[in-house]
Amino acid sequence: MRHTSTALLTFAFLFALAGGQESRAADNAQPSDQEVVGLAGARLARVFAKFGAPADMFVSDATSDEPSVCLDYGAYGFMVRNKIVVTVLFWQDWTGNACGVAIGDTADAIVKKFG
């Protein structure tokens, strides 16, 4: 119960923080994969400064010992825990590569690219 409450409070905090900012997720210009990946480990304020408010936010893994909040920007997103980006996500709508890998590449193709 404590972890669920923490996740809900974090979600409420994020919603309030993003409330006054316009979402840049609807912009036609998709950021580069390096701009998105570069925010891994960044503080939440830096994400909002760079991309504005997300198109959607939801609590993820609320029953876990370390729940997080997902910031969904359409083609990409971030998992945030304790106001720090812990995971960078690329959704199916992402066009182009992400660090040299295309969505839909086989495991063998990825191993061949990264060795």
Q: pTM of the prediction? A: 0.72
**Would you state the pLDDT for residue 2?**
53
**Would you state the pLDDT for residue 8?**
47
Q: For residue 78, how far is the Cα from the chain centroid?
A: 1
Longest CA–CA separation in the chain, Å: 45
**Would you state the pLDDT for residue 100?**
87
**Would you state the pLDDT for residue 33?**
94
**Would you state the pLDDT for residue 113?**
85
According to DSSP, residue 30 is labeled P
Residue 61 dihedral angles phi and psi, to the nearest 5°: 45, 50
Per-residue pLDDT of the chain in tens (115 residues, 90 and over written 9): 555 554 444 544 455 555 555 555 455 589 999 999 999 999 999 999 999 999 999 998 888 888 899 999 999 999 999 999 999 999 988 988 888 888 888 999 889 888 7
**Would you state the pLDDT for residue 46?**
97
**Would you state the pLDDT for residue 86?**
96
Total domains, the chain: 1
- Residue 108, helix vs strand vs coil: helix
Packing angle, helices 44-51 and 2-18, rounded to 10: 30
Domain span at residue 6?
2-114
